[in-house]
């Protein structure tokens, strides 16, 4: 995922569905504090989900399905008070 995307502090919707991104989700994704919808589904993202994602307090919708994340789902996701929809289907979370 291009690092420049994580510098768009006024971005409210990030839709990167089916772009065949590989590698880890950067921890800088936590800088996107205005985002309320985030979709990284149908990529080849791997590694652990960054804890910094819990800084996205406006986030309502998160789709991480069809990726290869590993490790545990950070319990800090439960601290995102506005998050009402999260998709984790077909991932490698234990």
User: What domain count does the chain have?
Assistant: 1
Question: Residue 41 CA to chain centroid, in angstroms?
Answer: 9
- The CATH number covering residue 58 comes to 3.80.10.10
For residue 70, is it within any domain? yes
Cα three-residue angle 71-77-80, rounded to 5 degrees: 165
For residue 93, is it within any domain? no
Q: Going by C-beta distance under 8 Å and a sequence separation of 6 or more, which residues neighbour residue 48?
A: 24, 69, 70, 71, 72, 74
pLDDT, position 40: 97
**Cα distance between residue 10 and residue 13, in whole Å:** 9
What domain range includes position 16? 3-87
For 65-89, the pLDDT digits (tens) are 999 998 888 899 999 999 999 999 8
Phi, psi for residue 15 in degrees, rounded to 5:
-120, 100
For 1-60, the pLDDT digits (tens) are 888 999 999 999 999 999 999 999 999 999 999 999 999 999 999 999 999 999 999 999
């Amino acid at each position: 995922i291009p690092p420049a995307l994580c510098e768009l502090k006024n971005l409210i919707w990030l839709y990167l569905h089916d772009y065949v991104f590989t590698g880890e989700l950067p921890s800088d994704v936590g800088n996107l504090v205005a985002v309320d919808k985030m979709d990284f589904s149908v990529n080849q993202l791997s590694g652990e989900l960054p804890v910094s994602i819990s800084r996205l307090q406006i986030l309502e919708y998160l789709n991480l399905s069809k990726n290869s994340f590993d490790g545990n789902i950070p319990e800090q996701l439960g601290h995102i008070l506005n998050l009402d929809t999260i998709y984790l289907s077909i991932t490698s979370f234990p």
